[in-house]
Amino acid sequence: NAGVTQTPKFQVLKTGQSMTLQCAQDMNHEYMSWYRQDPGMGLRLIHYSVGAGITDQGEVPNGYNVSRSTTEDFPLRLLSAAPSQTSVYFCASSSRGGEKLFFGSGTQLSVL
């Protein structure tokens, strides 16, 4: 049972480039979310989804897009990367929002 899988683990981008961070879960969870964590800081919520076809903004949504076409996948798209988006990104899921969150291992992103 893989749990929450994030790819890639590391990525370096140039300013202005776009890319997609992948997140997949195999636990049939309704709730999925994306967080970013800057060095020495807590986690900040970017976007979340309570089910396929339903997404909403979190605390820091600017510069990111998400979609939820299936229960399993919740990709995060950076539209035009900026140095301020250098961070570690975590995807999480739970059977329902507010219950036990399962986290992926994270994606370390550097924007030059």
Minimum CB separation of residue 5 from other proteins in Å reads 12
Least distance from other proteins to the Cβ atom of residue 16, Å: 28
Q: Which is nearer to other proteins, 73 or 103 (CB)?
A: 103
- Size, binding site for other proteins by CB under 8 A: 26
Interacting positions 55-84 with other proteins (CB under 8 A): 56, 58-59
Amino acid at the residue 71: T
> What residues between 8 and 37 interact with other proteins by CB under 8 A?
33, 35
Contact 35, 46 (CB under 8 A): yes
Closest to other proteins by CB, 16 vs 53, is 53
Of the chain, the end-to-end C-alpha distance in Å amounts to 36
Question: Strand pairing partners for 43?
Answer: 37
Distance CA 19, CA 102 (A): 24
Instruction: For other proteins, give the closer residue by CB, 17 or 60.
Output: 60
Question: Cα angle vertex 65, ends 102, 46, to 5°?
Answer: 45
12 DSSP β-pair partners: 110
* Residues in contact with other proteins by the rule CB under 8 A: 4, 33, 35, 41-45, 48, 50, 56, 58-59, 90, 92, 96-106
